[in-house]
């Protein structure tokens, strides 16, 4: 018989997350994150992203429970039989995007994104962006508020709000979605293989400054942003079998 998983509990600052933390720790104890079998994150999607980034190096699976405002990456909250739920959960392996941004001042700054890398104009003027994929210029000039590249897990976040496609897990593609494009008028984005190497070059960067954001890491005044899927990094999310992430992504395409 397999040993019951040792659980490490984390919670956002939200009152209901902190209340849940107290009850669960009293019931199940709280193993150190370093020695736990799995991490249980209590909050919303924002806290899940924060936890994934913070403990990425430990390679611990994370089982989220909804105690925040948005919980697409979270399971339903419940206190009964939690160790059994975690032991029976389905695992999903995610690969983040690695952004390398070059700024006007010459700095080169890296960051990882689990959801998306987004480029956004900093002033009232539209951004002008050249798009290269695998060293080939695919769009010489996009005039827009911005552009983003999303993973399948992140396709239901900012990407969906920008009218980008929802991508099933395991599809092997990334979503490139324009944000309020002005020219070309009919171009909204593209689906790219996950192996693609994307480079955004900012045109007129001093006149039309642009920032780059990898999840919650922002780099201001960029002139060039390179993005690739980082196959060296693996993140594991755990979901109840009856409400797994693939089913959520499918339902999202038919829901209200």
The C-alpha atoms of residue 158 and residue 185 are separated, in whole angstroms, by 21
Superfamily in which the 7-94+234-252 domain is placed by CATH: Probable inorganic polyphosphate/atp-NAD kinase; domain 1 (3.40.50.10330)
Mean pLDDT of 145-151: 97
Residue 73 is predicted with a pLDDT of: 84
**Residue 248: per-residue pLDDT:** 72
Long-range contacts for 205-209 (Cβ within 8 Å, ≥24 apart)? Answer: 205/104, 206/104, 207/125, 208/121, 208/123, 208/125, 208/126, 208/127, 208/128, 209/104, 209/121, 209/122, 209/123
Give me the pLDDT at residue 3, please: 67
Q: Sorting pLDDT into bands at 50, 70 and 90, what band is 72?
A: confident
The model's confidence at residue 186, banded by pLDDT at 50, 70 and 90, is confident
pLDDT at 173 over 70: yes
Mean pLDDT of 175-186: 93
Strands of the sheet containing 210-214, edge to edge, are: 189-193, 173-179, 146-150, 116-121, 210-214, 217-219
Using the predicted structure, report yes or no on whether residue 2 has a pLDDT greater than 60.
no
What are the domain boundaries of the chain?
Answer: 7-94+234-252, 97-229
Lowest mean per-residue pLDDT among 80-84, 89-93, 94-98, 242-246:
242-246
Residue 45 is among the residues annotated as catalytic for this protein: yes
7-94+234-252 and 97-229 have identical folds: no
pLDDT in tens, 227-252: 999 999 989 999 998 776 777 777 77
What is the Cα 138 distance to its own chain's centre? 25
Residue 153 has which token pair? 């897990």
What average pLDDT score do residues 30-41 get?
Answer: 96
- The two three-digit tokens of residue 202, written as one number: 């900012």
User: pLDDT > 90: what percent of the chain?
Assistant: 77
Please count the CA atoms within 13 angstroms of the CA of 201 that sit on its side-chain side: 12
* pTM score, whole prediction: 0.85
- Amino acid 1: pLDDT: 39
In the predicted model, what is the mean pLDDT of residues 9-25?
96
Q: How far apart are CA 201 and CA 208, in angstroms?
A: 12
Class at the top of the CATH hierarchy for domain 97-229: mainly beta
Percent of the chain with pLDDT over 70: 97
> Which range among 45-59, 62-76, 141-155, 238-252 shows the weakest confidence by mean pLDDT?
238-252
> Looking at residues 125-148, what average pLDDT do you find?
97
Rounded average pLDDT over 155-171: 88
Catalytic residue among 13, 19, 45, 145: 45
Distances (CA, A) of 115 to 73, 195, 242: 11, 16, 24
Looking at every residue in the chain, the average pLDDT score rounds to: 92
- For residue 184, whether the previous peptide bond is cis, meaning omega lies within 30 degrees of 0, is yes
**DSSP letters of the chain?**
-PPPPPEEEEE-SSHHHHHHHHHHHHHH----TTT-SEEEEEE-HHHHHHHHHHTGGGT--EEEEE-SS--TT-BPP--TTHHHHHHHPEEEEE--EEEEEEETTS-EEEEEESSEEEEEE-SSSPEEEEEEETTEEEEEEEEESEEEEE-TTTTTTHHHHTTPPP--TTS-EEEEEEES--BSTT--EEEEETT--EEEEEESTTTS-EEEEETTEEE-SEEEEEEEE-TT--EEEEE-GGG-HHHHHHHHTT--
CB atoms within 10 A of CB 64: 27
């Amino acid at each position: 018989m397999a040993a019951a998983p040792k659980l490490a509990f984390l919670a956002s600052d939200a009152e209901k997350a902190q209340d849940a933390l107290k009850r669960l720790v009293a019931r199940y104890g709280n193993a150190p994150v370093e020695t736990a079998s799995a991490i249980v994150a209590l909050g919303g999607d924002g806290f899940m992203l924060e936890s994934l980034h913070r403990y990425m190096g430990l390679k611990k699976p994370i089982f989220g429970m909804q105690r925040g405002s948005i919980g697409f990456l979270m399971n339903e909250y419940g206190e009964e039989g939690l160790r059994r739920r975690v032991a029976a959960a389905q695992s999903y392996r995610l690969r983040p995007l690695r952004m390398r941004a070059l700024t006007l001042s010459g700095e080169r700054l890296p960051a990882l994104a689990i959801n998306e890398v987004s480029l956004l104009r900093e002033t009232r003027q539209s951004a002008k962006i050249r798009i290269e994929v695998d060293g080939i210029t695919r769009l010489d000039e996009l005039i827009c508020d911005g552009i983003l590249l999303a993973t399948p897990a992140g396709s239901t976040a900012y990407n969906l709000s920008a009218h980008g496609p929802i991508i099933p897990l395991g599809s092997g593609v990334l979503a490139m979605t324009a944000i309020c494009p002005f020219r070309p008028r009919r171009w909204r984005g593209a689906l790219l293989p996950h192996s693609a190497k994307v480079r955004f070059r900012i045109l007129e960067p001093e006149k039309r400054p642009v920032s780059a954001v990898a999840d919650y890491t922002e780099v201001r005044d960029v002139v060039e942003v390179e993005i690739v899927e980082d196959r060296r990094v693996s993140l594991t999310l755990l979901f109840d079998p009856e409400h797994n992430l693939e089913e959520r992504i499918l339902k999202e395409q038919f829901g209200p």
